[in-house]
Chain A
Amino acid sequence: MRLDFVKIFVDSTTELFQQVLGPAVNISSMAVKPSPVAGRDVMAVIGLTGESHGRVIFDMDLFTAVQLAGRMSGESFSGLTPLVRSTIAELASMAIGQAISRINDSGAKLTMSPPTVITGANLVSYDQCFETLVTPIATEYGEVRMNITIQELN
């Protein structure tokens, strides 16, 4: 795992969340797992390619997704509407985009795919062979779990 990149992803995400969701953003723990633990109601997935490859998955429960989308859009939602899905995708995209910009400005080459939002699925077996850093991020709207898998290209 590229731990140097992982640190930038975590730091950028924390800063972006503080910027758009408010200052009450905290990371209580980080853990390396043999695979992503994403399995909650809503998942935003971004692929990483370039000199390393991998994936970042943000997962959260439905209530958190709706609350986050409400905060970002200024609207009130009663469920997982297309705009809620899009807002979660944009939140993930901004966080990972900022991280990739920092990584690339340090001389590396990484690109990201547009985010995909998956609901009601379970990705536990999706990446079972790849070591993943799992970081729960507490916000005042609920917990967002960040799963980062990034490997050197052979």
Chain B
Amino acid sequence: MQVAIKGNAIEGPPIKCLIVDDSAFARFHMRRLMDSFGNVQASEAANGNEAIREYRRVRPDFVLMDIVMPGLEGVEAVKEICAADPAAKVIMISSLSHKEKVAEAFAAGARYFIPKPVTTMVLREAIEEVLRAIGKDWPGATV
């Protein structure tokens, strides 16, 4: 799907992220948040199967993954992504946040879980933590 590069005013190589959500609004909202953070190159997928294809193509630094999607849903997609790339960094973002679902997401390989609705601060903290884990600095990071 479409790729946009933003944040040219911030120096350093862009951080690559993959936004996976069947909701066009959720993808729009996430992309806007990424743009506001700056220096993020975001690609998108609307379901689990697209996410797996995009992940192989883009090799993002992190993935923002919804759970409830038609076709291959989020947890199954994370399992496949992490099986192919154990170093994959996935942040689950879902309105379903009961204990069992969160446990499933972590067991599948997710590193972080954010219940919807997502706030800018929580998302930014999660991304910074994920990037720190892979030794990447995010120019302009707050922490």
Contact = CB atoms under 8 A, between A and B. Distances in A.
B68 A93 contact: yes
Given A94-B116, A114-B22, A73 B28 contact: yes
A87 interface: yes
A90 B30 CA distance: 13
B120 interface: no
Scoring A16, A89, A97 by chain B CB atoms within 10 A of each residue's CB, the highest score goes to A97
Interface string A92-135: 01111110111111000000111000000000000000000000
**Interface range on chain B (Cβ under 8 Å from partner):** 20 to 34
A32 interface: no
B95 A93 contact: yes
A30 interface: no
Interface of B: 22-26, 28-29, 32, 68-70, 94-101, 115-117
22 contacts: A19-B117, A69-B25, A73-B28, A82-B24, A83-B24, A83-B28, A86-B25, A90-B23, A90-B26, A93-B95, A95-B95, A96-B95, A97-B68, A97-B95, A97-B97, A98-B95, A101-B98, A101-B101, A102-B98, A104-B99, A112-B96, A114-B22
In order of increasing CB-CB distance, the 8 nearest A-B pairs are A97-B95, A104-B98, A86-B24, A101-B98, A86-B25, A87-B25, A94-B95, A90-B25
